């Protein structure tokens, strides 16, 4: 029987890792992700898992050791946040380039400077071109569910790519929420045994991993990486379908909330979607046709499905919890504008709100204000300001 519990995002991630029971976990503590591996280290010490836990001296080493373990044939995991993910930088690309199905819960936190430990999405947005699959989670339940599904997605024979599952630092990682956890044996049966095709400890079939790959073949191997990403969305949907059978919970590429007949819509990632849905409900009660689209799979970006879902909307506001400093808005806005370029029908008016940097709260009044702006744009057809910094002191 599944268990309904009060749990923080970090506890939920650690619980998912306990149930996955990976062969190797290599990690280094960093706020606000520390608890994930701290709790998991308890599981290791208490003999609750069979995992070889490698306490390393940095996040660069954490990812390096995880890559080594994965290349050796192990089901390997790590977890980090912010500066830790930044320090993993070169190894992220290597994990993806070597096609290693590592799963890593990442707790979203701002990047220095100025130094800050609170939530924004600068860390994982910076890793968006690394070749990792990126799945975002609104709350502890989604983080738990996504981590378990990520194992199947990453290890799928058509994919073989590392996958990071993110949640918002403190807001979700340390906030107590309500979640339903699956039985250990149900999770084990769902993820199954990991059977790598080629691995270093297969002594009967010796291989070379990470060989020099100059101008004669590097391009072909990078082309393969793009090809693997084209298959991700189908696998994500297939795994979501199987996951629904064991959990009753439904996942898609994104979450369309009261979007069908919406005149204006907000697109948002992670925990702010929860606040925004409450605003949507309140405005709907007043008869206003507002909707919301919450991103789940961000890399690869399911641009066709998303642009189709937004095609009938008159005006869209994209809420970014990270800035790109391109002066064209945040990373989600830039991607979505590109996606909407080829959308059928009249051009959808799009604006961007960069919010919540360094953990600045976003409240319901601000989100309602965004919907007000959208109705004005829909009415006049005029965009006065494309990119707005929402909640900053002027």
Partner 1 sequence: MSAAEKGWKDVPKGGLILDAGNAMEYETGDWRTYKPVWDEEKCIHCMICWVFCPDSSIKVEDGKMVGIDYKHCKGCGICSFECPRKAIEMVLETEENGEAGACE
Binding site for partner 1 (CB under 8 A): 97-100, 160, 198, 205-211, 213, 216-221, 223-224, 227-228
Residue closer to partner 1 (CB basis): 100 or 351:
100
Angle 103-96-249 from CA coordinates, rounded to 5° = 35
Residue closer to partner 1 (CB basis): 224 or 363:
224
Q: Provide, rounded to whole angstroms, the least separation between the CB of residue 297 and partner 1.
A: 22
Q: Provide, rounded to whole angstroms, the least separation between the CB of residue 216 and partner 1.
A: 8
Residue closer to partner 1 (CB basis): 154 or 317:
154
Measured between alpha carbons, how far is 53 from 40 in angstroms, rounded to an integer?
9
Residue closer to partner 1 (CB basis): 159 or 295:
159
Q: Provide, rounded to whole angstroms, the least separation between the CB of residue 72 and partner 1.
A: 13
Distance, C-alpha 13 to centroid of its chain: 13
Residue closer to partner 1 (CB basis): 113 or 211:
211
CB atoms within 10 A of CB 42: 13
- DSSP string covering 10-63: HHHHHHHHHHH--SEEEE---TTTHHHHHHHHHHHHTTSS--EEEE-SSHHHHH
CB atoms within 10 A of CB 376: 14
Residue closer to partner 1 (CB basis): 99 or 294:
99
Q: Provide, rounded to whole angstroms, the least separation between the CB of residue 231 and partner 1.
A: 12
Residue closer to partner 1 (CB basis): 216 or 285:
216
Angle 301-305-306 from CA coordinates, rounded to 5° = 70
Measured between alpha carbons, how far is 382 from 378 in angstroms, rounded to an integer?
8
- DSSP string covering 267-292: EEETTHHHHHHHHHHHHHHTT--EEE
H/E stretch holding 255 reads strand 254-257
Q: Provide, rounded to whole angstroms, the least separation between the CB of residue 195 and partner 1.
A: 15
Residue closer to partner 1 (CB basis): 118 or 160:
160
CB atoms within 10 A of CB 184: 14
Q: Provide, rounded to whole angstroms, the least separation between the CB of residue 61 and partner 1.
A: 21
For tokens 């994209």, the residue is 318
Q: Provide, rounded to whole angstroms, the least separation between the CB of residue 218 and partner 1.
A: 8
Q: Provide, rounded to whole angstroms, the least separation between the CB of residue 299 and partner 1.
A: 18
3-state class (DSSP) for residue 220: helix
Residue 340 tokens read as 């909407």
């Amino acid at each position: 029987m599944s268990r309904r519990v009060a749990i923080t995002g970090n506890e939920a991630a650690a619980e998912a890792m306990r149930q996955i029971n990976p062969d190797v976990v290599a990690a280094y503590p960093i706020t606000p992700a520390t608890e994930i591996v701290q709790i998991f280290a308890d599981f290791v010490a208490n003999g609750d898992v069979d995992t070889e836990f490698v306490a390393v001296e940095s996040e660069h080493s954490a990812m390096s050791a995880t890559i080594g373990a994965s290349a050796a044939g192990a089901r390997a995991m790590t977890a980090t946040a912010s500066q830790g993910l930044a320090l993993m930088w070169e190894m992220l690309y290597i994990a993806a380039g070597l096609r290693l199905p590592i799963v890593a819960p990442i707790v979203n936190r701002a990047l220095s400077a100025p130094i800050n430990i609170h939530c924004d999405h600068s860390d994982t947005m910076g890793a968006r071109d690394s070749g990792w699959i990126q799945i975002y989670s609104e709350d502890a339940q989604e983080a738990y569910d996504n981590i378990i599904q990520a194992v199947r997605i990453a290890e799928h024979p058509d994919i073989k790519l590392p996958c990071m599952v993110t949640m918002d630092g403190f807001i979700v990682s340390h906030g107590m929420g309500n979640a339903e956890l699956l039985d250990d044996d149900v999770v084990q049966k769902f993820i199954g045994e990991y059977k790598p095709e080629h691995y270093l400890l297969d002594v009967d079939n010796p291989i070379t991993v990470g060989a020099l790959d100059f101008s004669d073949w590097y391009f072909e191997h990078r082309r393969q990486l793009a090809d693997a990403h084209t298959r991700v969305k189908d696998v994500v949907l297939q795994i979501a379908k199987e996951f629904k059978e064991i959990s009753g919970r439904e996942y898609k590429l994104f979450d369309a909330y009261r979007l069908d007949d919406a005149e204006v819509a907000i697109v948002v990632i992670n925990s702010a979607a929860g606040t925004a849905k409450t605003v949507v409900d309140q405005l709907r009660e007043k008869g206003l046709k507002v909707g919301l689209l919450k991103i789940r799979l961000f890399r690869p970006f399911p641009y066709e499905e998303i642009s189709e879902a937004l095609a009938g909307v008159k005006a869209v506001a994209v809420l970014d919890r990270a800035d790109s400093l391109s002066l064209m808005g945040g990373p989600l806005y830039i991607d979505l504008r590109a996606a909407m370029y080829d959308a059928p029908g009249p051009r959808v008016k799009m604006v961007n709100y960069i919010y919540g940097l360094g953990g600045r709260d976003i409240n319901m009044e601000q989100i309602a204000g965004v919907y007000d702006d959208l109705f004005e744009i829909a009415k006049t057809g005029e965009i006065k300001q494309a990119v707005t910094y929402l909640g900053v002191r002027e």
